[in-house]
A and B are shown apart, each in its own frame.
Chain A
Amino acid sequence: MADATISVRGLRKRYGDYEAVRGISFDVGRGEVFGLLGPNGAGKTTTVEILEGYRERTDGEVSVLGHDPAAGERALKERIGIVLQSTAFYPNATVRESVEQFAKYYPHPRDPGEIVQLVGLEEKADERLKALSGGQRRRLDLALALVGDPEVIFLDEPTTGFDPAARRTAWKVIDALKDLGKTVLLTTHYLDEAQSLSDRVAIIKDGVIVAEGPPSELSPESARYRVAYNQNGHRVELETDDPTELLHRLTSEALAQGRRLEGLTVSRPTLEDVYLELTAEAVAE
């Protein structure tokens, strides 16, 4: 991608003898929401923290908005927003004070009051952080990442530990970022999250990308249809690129023999199937 906002080429990261990231490459275009999906320990956080400038890479090229994040330039930090895996700010500060303080760090901040409202914390604006619930703290993290009006936002497992309602709220906020034209790099181990938020997903396992593409197209065999039915007490499963023809053949045969196709289903593999298949080894370990 010529004008990629985030570009990663052959990235490697070694910790002693252990190689956490083993040569991954991907691009994220302007205004795109890109999801890094994978089990715990796959190398997602290491990758994101290299892009955020927290970790040095062992090898490879990375660029964020044309900068090398390892240089730690203020000019880059002014244009990115970060949600780390765990919440971190002064427990005795209030929500409003925290967002207002962060706003001072950036050259063109958004209105702190508006940001507090955007993440749905207006009723908690004068609460101290130590009094917030886990989900409320994550929403504050999001507010702190957004108040500088960044062009690129890194979200490292932004909804881990959320109840379903809080996750929906967070998803709406992330969708709203997309509408504002922000570029988002998201890591998650929730499939539904990657599927509903991302324009494109890369599945990471053991430090390498094992699949990449839009969630709807992501499949090991380019989304073949699965047709299944019961015959003589067992399940028959067939795969095809053209279900129309297959179904026509199956139903004709069945009618001709006076049988019924019990329990007939036609499905496309979901991202979940792909994910489970690709990460099966990792889970089994």
Chain B
Amino acid sequence: MSTVALAWQQFRFERRLFWRNPSALFFNFSLPVIFLVLIASVFSLSRNDLKTLVPGIAGLAVMTTTFNALAFNLTFIREQGIIKRMRGTPLPSIAYFGGVLGNAVMNAVVQVTLIVVLGHLLYHVSWPQDWLTLAVFTALGVIAFGALGVAFAQIIPNFDSAPAYVNAFFLPIILISGAFYDTKHLPSAIDAIARALPLKHVIDGLHAGIVTGAPVTDHWDAVGVLSLWCVLGLFFAVRRFRFE
């Protein structure tokens, strides 16, 4: 079988097993939806607030399905010896990891779609105003957070400590990056940190794609920061990769 066909087989295998893993299902599917519905209801958000919340949750979903999920998954398969075992087979590494990464990308796409659809059906947020902007920022977010998740997994010593490591970054980042509310009035020091990190730019880009319809060309700064994170993430993901 060709490497592409093998990667496809591995992807399908990963998808089949994904549906059998309750905690993966919760974090990749339920959590963003729960955030969306709960925050919208608890704070009885106005039409305008919802236009901030829906892209915010979509951005959060991009991060959980790629950064969080890959940091957990890779730590798990490394600790279980699965990566080592696969390396002893003729399956090319690129086909194996293609399947593992493809699974995360699929979750990100499904999740962004789900949030956009729910936002429209439940909260009357318009259908995306600029599909290209939405696609570009989803893709940049997936690549940046995916690569950073792979790189981060190399730092996590074992699966037991993975939730602590992941949440130490995930929780502060979603709070300062405007996943739940408009961050116009953040203290300037915190705002500077948020602007240096990727999530705020993903959310701004998704906001442009879904709500304002601003073209990508209006957000070159966001594209620039995200591209930088993509390069940095890919560099460390590949360089520090541990098989065992």
Which A residues lie at the B interface, using CB under 8 A? 52-54, 74, 77-78, 80, 82, 84, 86-93, 97, 101-102, 104-107, 128, 144, 148
Which B residues lie at the A interface, using CB under 8 A? 1, 6, 9, 13, 16-17, 20-21, 80-82, 84-85, 87-92
Given A54-B84, A84-B81, A88-B82, A105–B17 Cβ distance below 8 Å?
A: no
Which of B20, B82, B84, B89 meets A77, CB within 8 Å?
A: B89
A104 partner residues in chain B, CB cutoff 8 A? 1, 6, 9
B6 partner residues in chain A, CB cutoff 8 A? 104-105
Q: How far is the CB of A228 from chain B (nearest CB, A)?
A: 49
Given A101-B13, A104-B6, A88–B81 Cβ distance below 8 Å?
A: yes
- Asked whether A92 lies within 8 Å of B88 as measured between CB atoms, the reply is no
B80 partner residues in chain A, CB cutoff 8 A? 88, 91
Please classify the interface of chain A as helix (H, G, I), strand (E, B), loop, or mixed, using the class held by over half of its residues. loop
B16 partner residues in chain A, CB cutoff 8 A? 97
Which of A88, A92, A107 meets B17, CB within 8 Å?
A: A92
A80 partner residues in chain B, CB cutoff 8 A? 88
A78 partner residues in chain B, CB cutoff 8 A? 90
Q: How far is the CB of B8 from chain A (nearest CB, A)?
A: 10
- Mind listing 22 A-B residue pairs with CB under 8 Å? A74-B90, A74-B92, A77-B89, A77-B90, A78-B90, A84-B85, A84-B88, A86-B81, A87-B81, A88-B80, A88-B84, A91-B80, A92-B17, A92-B20, A97-B13, A101-B9, A102-B89, A104-B9, A105-B89, A144-B85, A148-B89, A148-B90
CA distance A106 to B91 in the complex (A): 8
B82 nearest CB neighbor, chain A only:
A88
CA distance A89 to B81 in the complex (A): 8
B91 nearest CB neighbor, chain A only:
A105
Q: How far is the CB of A102 from chain B (nearest CB, A)?
A: 7
Q: How far is the CB of B122 from chain A (nearest CB, A)?
A: 32
Q: How far is the CB of B242 from chain A (nearest CB, A)?
A: 13
- Asked whether B82 lies within 8 Å of A54 as measured between CB atoms, the reply is no
- Asked whether B90 lies within 8 Å of A92 as measured between CB atoms, the reply is no
B92 nearest CB neighbor, chain A only:
A74
Given contacts A84-B85, A88-B84, A90-B82, 8 further A-B contacts (CB under 8 A): A54-B88, A77-B88, A84-B81, A87-B81, A97-B16, A104-B6, A105-B6, A128-B20
A77 partner residues in chain B, CB cutoff 8 A? 88-90
CA distance A104 to B90 in the complex (A): 10
B84 partner residues in chain A, CB cutoff 8 A? 54, 84, 88
Q: How far is the CB of A76 from chain B (nearest CB, A)?
A: 9
A53 nearest CB neighbor, chain B only:
B88
CA distance A90 to B9 in the complex (A): 15
A128 nearest CB neighbor, chain B only:
B20
B20 partner residues in chain A, CB cutoff 8 A? 92, 128
- Asked whether A52 lies within 8 Å of B9 as measured between CB atoms, the reply is no
Which of B1, B21, B85 meets A89, CB within 8 Å?
A: B85
A106 partner residues in chain B, CB cutoff 8 A? 89-90
CA distance A82 to B3 in the complex (A): 21
CA distance A82 to B89 in the complex (A): 8
A148 partner residues in chain B, CB cutoff 8 A? 89-90
User: Closest 5 interchain pairs by CB?
Assistant: A88-B81, A88-B85, A77-B90, A82-B88, A92-B20
CA distance A86 to B20 in the complex (A): 23
CA distance A93 to B16 in the complex (A): 9
CA distance A105 to B87 in the complex (A): 11
CA distance A36 to B106 in the complex (A): 46
CA distance A213 to B166 in the complex (A): 54
A54 partner residues in chain B, CB cutoff 8 A? 84, 87-88
CA distance A59 to B87 in the complex (A): 23
Q: How far is the CB of A192 from chain B (nearest CB, A)?
A: 28
- Asked whether B82 lies within 8 Å of A89 as measured between CB atoms, the reply is yes
Which of A52, A87, A93 meets B88, CB within 8 Å?
A: A52
B87 partner residues in chain A, CB cutoff 8 A? 53-54
A81 nearest CB neighbor, chain B only:
B88
- Asked whether B88 lies within 8 Å of A90 as measured between CB atoms, the reply is no
B17 partner residues in chain A, CB cutoff 8 A? 90, 92-93
CA distance A74 to B3 in the complex (A): 11
Q: How far is the CB of A240 from chain B (nearest CB, A)?
A: 49
B89 partner residues in chain A, CB cutoff 8 A? 77, 102, 105-106, 148
- Asked whether A92 lies within 8 Å of B21 as measured between CB atoms, the reply is yes
Q: How far is the CB of B14 from chain A (nearest CB, A)?
A: 9
CA distance A125 to B63 in the complex (A): 37
A97 partner residues in chain B, CB cutoff 8 A? 13, 16
CA distance A91 to B84 in the complex (A): 15
CA distance A52 to B81 in the complex (A): 15
